[in-house]
Amino acid sequence: MEKTPEYVIEMLHITKEFPGIKANDDITLQLRKGEIHALLGENGAGKSTLMSVLFGLYQPEQGEIRKNGQPVKIESPNDATALHIGMVHQHFQLVDVFTVLDNIILGAEDTKMGFLQKKNARAKVKALSEQYGLLVDLDAKVEDITVGMQQRTEILKMLYRDNEILIFDEPTAVLTPQEIEELMQIMKNLAAEGKSILFISHKLNEIMEVSDRVTVLRKGKYVGTIDTAGTTKEELSRMMVGRPVQLVVDKAPAQPKEAVLTVEGLTVPSKVHKNDAVKNVSFTAHAGEIVCIAGIDGNGQTEFVQALTGLEKASAGKITLCGHDITHQSIRARSQTGMSHIPEDRHKHGLVLDFTLEQNMVLQRYYEPRFQNHGFIRFDAVRSYAEDLIEQYDVRSGQGPVTIARSMSGGNQQKAIVAREIDRDLPLIVAVQPTRGLDVGAIEYIHSQLVAQRDAGKAVLLVSLELDEVMNLSDRILVMYEGEIVGELDPKKTTVEELGLYMAGAKRQGKERETA
């Protein structure tokens, strides 16, 4: 155990127990000055608990924390602030109706005789934002700016308080690829200026790109700390999951058969602006293939899926599913015609969070004769069905079928939705960002399930923002840009760079594009 002051923060042998469970078991984390140190682990590996200990929200049973080699006690977030430790939470802690500047100075305001003095603060924030390349409009209200700008506001908040140790809790989960790129650059700038950064993530690409060293946790235990330069994604994922993980989906070439879904000239009006969010989109998805709609967030994918699944109305166009015109059908009718839907937002659409797991498992089919008798729910049938799904798809939860969905981890919530939708055994599966926010183990599992469904003769329509997922999983890529399909690509014959050009609107195929 080194005790040289080369470390700004050391967490030594931290153990934190909760009733019945050791969330952190003898974990050591040492942060050097000026480094970007990634903290890697699956959902539930104990990353958040460890950071809460550092931030003074929890008191550890054992272990000590040192700053610059000196033992310190952190008993509340105020103590952490006094030690110049700052944190950007995954969900931003901003007042929506305040301006950016007001948010930055909130809690650390300069006052004179009880009046706010914003002049000095404004100058300081301006200087900081130029120094680190954090571009924000100080007078814009937070509710009006993009998520990326909100995050920059959070970073400026930490810098304004002269924090030396910056914690980023899964900062990229809410960002678009461009914003992620910018954030990576900002983090590098910060480290170059001598700030020490703790970067919590389970995204291997980002860790490989930006971090100097990685500490890996698994199920509350310390696995190891290694230099990023001397490792690979495969090794990191093996350390994180505890077994070798297949990062590249293993699949045979697709064998497309008959058309399952045909979309012709679909146009959907936008809710935020006057133009159409989806413009004249046409394509066909066949049985036995995974068709992916790729694109940068906000280019009409959400509206397209809502119109396809019936959540919103299309203004023009025709949708044919399994030979039936479903353009004007209700959601229930579409679903019964043969469409299952893994929704983009699992909390808003995918689950009734206050219902139990078993109630959620029958959300799409509670009305089927199997689960009801003259309007009365057959509770035994629901229970045994839920138990089957839980077993078959390895959905983990505290109390099995009667667990409240809200209390489950994000990965298992998503697994429950995937289980429910796949098990309906319908010809078309619409999967929207099916792996968002999940760790590699869960991603691997969901990808293999989708491939298995394809091989079983289903048509899978994948909508994804993750380039890796798009390239890995799909048999055919349709790129959506500003509501239009601007290109149809074969993942085997294209590169990430080319795909990126289409996604950014810099390149597009002419009208000669076939509608397959």
Partner 1 sequence: MKEKTPLMQRDSTRSVLASLLSILIGLVAGALVVLLVGVFNKSLSLKSAWEGIQLIFLGIVSTGRNAAGGLTFGFNPVTFGNMLFRATPLILTGLSVAVAYKTGLFNIGAPGQYLAGTAATLFIALEIPSEVVPAWLIWILAFLGGMAAGALWGAIPGMLKAFLNINEVLACIMTNWISANLVTWVFDVSNLKNTVENTKTAYIYKTSFNGVQTPKMFLDKIFPGSQVNGGIIIAILLAVLMYIVFAKTTFGYELKACGANRHAAKYAGIKDKRSIVLSMAIAGAMSGAGASLYWLAGNTEFFWSTYQSLPATGFNGIPVALLAVCNPIAVIFTGMFMSMLDIAGLQLTNLTAYNEYITDVIIAVIVYLSAFSLVIKLWLGGKAKKKAGPKPDANAEPAVPAASAADGGKEGKE
> Is 93 a residue that touches partner 1 (CB under 8 A)?
no
Q: Are 405 and 352 in contact (CB under 8 A)?
A: yes
Which run of H or E residues covers position 441? helix 440-455
> Is 170 a residue that touches partner 1 (CB under 8 A)?
yes
Strand 85-88, strand 165-169: pairing:
parallel
When the beta carbons of 46 and 300 are compared against partner 1, the nearer one is: 46
Among 12, 140, 184, 352, binds partner 1 (CB under 8 A): 352
User: Residue 96 corresponds to which tokens in the numbers above?
Assistant: 């929506």
Helix axes 118-132, 147-160, angle to 10 degrees: 110
> Is 406 a residue that touches partner 1 (CB under 8 A)?
yes
Q: Are 285 and 345 in contact (CB under 8 A)?
A: no
> Is 21 a residue that touches partner 1 (CB under 8 A)?
yes
Among 354, 388, 391, 425, binds partner 1 (CB under 8 A): 354
> Is 388 a residue that touches partner 1 (CB under 8 A)?
no
Interface size with partner 1, residues (CB under 8 A): 61
CB of 349 to partner 1, least distance (A): 4
- Among residues 304, 303, 278, which one has the least CA distance to residue 484? 278
Angstrom CA distances, 486 to 39, 293, 295, 462, 508, stand at 39, 11, 10, 17, 5
When the beta carbons of 24 and 129 are compared against partner 1, the nearer one is: 24
Interface stretch with partner 1, choices 92-100, 409-417, 449-457, 499-507 (CB under 8 A): 409-417
> Is 262 a residue that touches partner 1 (CB under 8 A)?
no
Interface stretch with partner 1, choices 95-103, 269-277, 393-401, 453-461 (CB under 8 A): 393-401
> Is 49 a residue that touches partner 1 (CB under 8 A)?
yes
Q: DSSP for 231-279, please give it.
A: --HHHHHHHHHSS----S---PPP---SEEEEEEEEEEE-SSSSSEEEE
- Among residues 316, 337, 315, which one has the least CA distance to residue 326? 337
When the beta carbons of 72 and 311 are compared against partner 1, the nearer one is: 311
> Is 23 a residue that touches partner 1 (CB under 8 A)?
yes
User: Which residues inside 302-321 make contact with partner 1, applying CB under 8 A?
Assistant: 309, 311
Q: DSSP for 40-54, please give it.
A: E--TTSSHHHHHHHH
> Is 408 a residue that touches partner 1 (CB under 8 A)?
yes
Provide the binding-site residues for partner 1, judged by CB under 8 A.
Answer: 16, 18-23, 42-46, 48-49, 90-91, 170, 173, 219-220, 309, 311, 330-333, 335, 341, 343, 347-355, 359, 363-364, 366-367, 371-372, 375-377, 396-400, 406-410, 413, 436-437
